[in-house]
Amino acid sequence: MREVDFINAYLVAGANVVVEAETNPVSTISPMTNGNKPVDGGHLIFSLSEAEAIRSSDVLAAQFVRPFVGSDEAINGKQRFCLWIDDSSIDLAQSIPVISNRMENVRAMRQVSTKELTRRGADAPHAFQQIRQKGDETLIVVPRVSSENRPYLPVALLSHGTIIGDRNFALYDAPLWNMALIASRLHWVWIGTVCVRMRTDFSYSNTLGWNTFPVPTLTAKNKADLTRCAEDILLAREAHFPDTIADLYDPETMPENLRVAHERNDEVLERIYIGRCFKNDTERLEKLFELYTQMATEVAKRGAEKKGTPRRKA
């Protein structure tokens, strides 16, 4: 047991600070946004067998069928697909009966909605209600809700052409070293402390969890080292294909090569913070809150100077 001068609202030694949601990252990391929200009544998203039926119905239909990944697909490896139709291709899509029928079903569902925004979406039944991507990006994906029992947060790298749902957050075309940050023990303890929990699950938030995550300024070498760590984690997973993230991150059966890859990632990242590995999660949190307090103060100062208003206390 040790004595400390102050304990903050999160029961961590240090200055009394409350972590507030941020629109932009306080650190120099890539922006993270929501996935796409369909609001489609189930007509734009479908199973593998339905996808095959659509593709086989017309030679032109395949171009509009994309892999769709929600949180269940990201964690448990389930397969679903969706219609992804660019505005410039509406006429072609409508000429394909099986697609036209689905569009009409979306239109009908949206027209009778009690929500004005959804009713307005009836004019574009080919499209998701809220669109966050073009469809050709490489994606680093984090499910909104995941079990706290895993030793690391689930994070997936998806190839271009994949469409993600709004049960995920994503970094679009971001450098791979960002994945190393998300896959770290440091990020796990930060999310577990500052984000809301749902029973025994983490409820991830881009504004409260990612945008507030304090990361020291990274050098080119730091980024290269972290990129290699992320690649090693992906290679370790690939060695156990077709195991899913749920399979691989079961704390009782996590493969040794994957555990080693994560431990190496933790070591590389933690040396950037303090020149050595942290002794425990308590020490990790104390350093993270120390950095967050400094960074949030600087963000507030810049905002106050820009607006000419009194600055917020961190």
- pLDDT of 314 reads 45
pLDDT band, very low/low/confident/very high, at 312 (cuts 50, 70, 90)? low
Question: Does one domain contain both 182 and 288?
Answer: yes
Closest CA to 75 of 243, 267, 297, 212: 243
The percent of residues in the chain predicted with pLDDT above 70, rounded, is: 93
Asked if residue 213 belongs to a domain, the reply is: yes
Domain ranges, residue 114: 45-123
Question: Does one domain contain both 113 and 201?
Answer: no
Asked if residue 31 belongs to a domain, the reply is: no
Asked if residue 166 belongs to a domain, the reply is: no
Asked if residue 98 belongs to a domain, the reply is: yes
Question: Does one domain contain both 117 and 233?
Answer: no
Mean pLDDT in residue range 34-54: 98
- pLDDT of 196 reads 82
Asked if residue 89 belongs to a domain, the reply is: yes
Question: Does one domain contain both 256 and 185?
Answer: yes
Question: Does one domain contain both 181 and 297?
Answer: yes
Question: Does one domain contain both 285 and 219?
Answer: yes
pLDDT band, very low/low/confident/very high, at 14 (cuts 50, 70, 90)? low
pLDDT digits (tens, 9 = 90+) for 136-185: 999 999 999 999 999 999 999 999 999 999 999 999 999 999 999 999 99
Asked if residue 205 belongs to a domain, the reply is: yes
Q: How far apart are the first and last CA of the chain?
A: 28
pLDDT value at 298 more than 50: yes
Cα distances from 226 to residues 175, 229, 231, 264, in angstroms, run 10, 5, 9, 10
Tell me if 14 sits within 8 A of 289, measured CB to CB. Answer: yes
pLDDT digits (tens, 9 = 90+) for 235-268: 999 999 999 999 999 999 999 999 999 999 999 9
Q: Tokens 């969706």 belong to which residue?
A: 82
Asked if residue 167 belongs to a domain, the reply is: no
Query: pTM for this structure?
Result: 0.91
Tell me if 211 sits within 8 A of 24, measured CB to CB. Answer: yes
pLDDT digits (tens, 9 = 90+) for 265-289: 999 999 999 999 999 999 999 999 9
Cα distances from 88 to residues 124, 132, 152, in angstroms, run 12, 18, 42
What's the structural domain count of the chain? 2
The whole-chain average pLDDT of the chain stands at 94
pLDDT value at 17 more than 50: yes
Asked if residue 147 belongs to a domain, the reply is: no
